Structure 1
Amino acid sequence: MVIEAHWLLPPELMEPAWQVYREAFEELRTRAVQRHVMLRGEFDEQMRDARIRKYVVRDPSDGRMLALATLTNDLGAMPLVSPDYFEYRWPALYAERRIWYCGFYAIHPEHQGSATFVRLVTEMRAVIAPGIAVMDFCGRNEEVRRMPQVVRTILARQGDVRPERLDAQAYWSYEFPAAS
């Protein structure tokens, strides 16, 4: 597999990137309360945002896109995180722009469980270290797929890593059954 890094996704990669992203996250459309899947316009905007680095994984035999991931140390580029939190928590690292947010890892369903994810995490770690990588996982990916532990295992093979859960948000429902 070949990994390319782009600050601006080339126009000819927009449609294949959208297809990989959409298919990779299809399950979360109905399995997560919070919308974890960007709309097409939001996706296109991120792909054109030069503050966000895009990692494209291709099959070397035919050039087909297998995966896509994003990474930024400009926390203002990510609409759902609070730069103030990170500046308060780690002022020196924040000032040095050594706090990185991994927006998503989209692995095409045919390649989930392959070495693709490991290669992407390894490639991105080389940019981040020394520093802090921040990722968010919905409850399903945390509890069912155990993604925080998977990432920790990958990173621990490459050296010292200290994971910490930073925050959580829970969604509750209150059902009102019909009177009997």
Structure 2
Amino acid sequence: MHVDVEKVLTGTRREEAWHLYTDAFAELRQAAVQRHVLYRTEFDDIMSDDRVEKYVAVSPTGDLAGLSTLTNDLTAMPLISPEYFANRWPDHYKDRRIWYLGFIAIAAPERRSGVFEAMIERMWRVVRANAGVAALDLCARNESRQLDAAITRTLTALTPEVVPTRLDTQAFWSWELPTAS
């Protein structure tokens, strides 16, 4: 298994990437209130945006095993606030030392194979080499599955002094009238 870094995905590889992405995140379309899954047009925009690096894990047979995105140009990512990061880490922001991981998708047959860890390690090299900050958005569903703990374990093994911090949380509420009997 190897992880390549691409600036732009096109053609067959982009189609494979879209199918991997939609399969990996299909459940979130119904499990999370706030949209965490890109529409096809947004996905295509990111895949063609050279400001966003695509980390592509390829199996020995040439199949797409994993895909993730990483950028230090926070204006390239939809649904995040670059102003938040600029306020929290002004020097890091000015020096472009904040990286945002848009998503990490692993093909179902490759889960628990080490692909996830290999991709995290490859992206972390960039952040660590620049004494930076890495951030991503996790919904409660993925926290309940301890994705944050898995990432923390991987990063701690690579850099014991890493400090994980929850940056923000959001709760969605509803007020429903009972049905008339």
TM-based fold match above 0.5:
yes
1:34 partner SS: coil
> What is the CA distance between 1:11 and its match in structure 2?
2.5
AA in 2 matched with 1:50: D
Q: Which residue identity does 2:168 align to in structure 1?
A: D
How far apart are the structure 2 equivalents of 1:89 and 1:167? 12
- Alignment of 1:165 with 2:172, yes or no, is no
TM-score (norm 1): 0.95
Identity %: 47
Quote the offset at 1:65 in angstroms.
0.4
- In structure 1, the partner of 2:62 is 63
The residue number in structure 2 matching 1:113 is: 112
* Cα shift at 1:79: 1.6
Q: Residue deviations 1:136-156, cap 9 Å, x none? A: 10110012x111111111100
Superposed CA offset, 1:68-122 (max 9, x none): 0000000001121111111111111111100000000010111122200000000
Match of 2:89 in 1: 90
How far apart are 1:179 and its partner, in Å?
4.0
Output the aligned Cα RMSD.
Answer: 1.1
Pair 1:103-2:99 in alignment:
no
Q: C-alpha displacement at 1:34, in angstroms?
A: 1.4
Aligned twin of 1:30: 30
Any idea what the Cα deviations from partners look like across 1:152-175, whole Å, max 9, x if unmatched?
111000112101111011111111
List, as ranges, runs of 4+ consecutive aligned residues in structure 1 with deviation greater than 2 Å: none
The 1-side partners of 2:40 and 2:10 are apart by: 16
Tell me the residue number matched to 2:175. 174
The TM-score with structure 2 as length reference comes to 0.95
Distance in structure 2 (CA, Å) of the matches to 1:37 and 1:120: 20
Q: Distance in 1 between matches of 2:10 and 2:156?
A: 33
- In the aligned structure 1, how far is the partner of 2:110 from the partner of 2:80? 29
Number of equivalent positions: 178
Look up the match of 2:137: 136
Stretches of structure 1 that go unaligned for 5 or more consecutive residues are: none
The whole-number CA distance in structure 2 between the counterparts of 1:65 and 1:86 is 32
CA distance in structure 2 between the partners assigned to 1:173 and 1:110 by the alignment: 37
Q: Aligned partner of 2:81: which letter?
A: S
Give the corresponding residue for 1:8.
8
Q: What residue identity is the alignment partner of 1:128? A: V
| Partner SS for 2:158 | coil
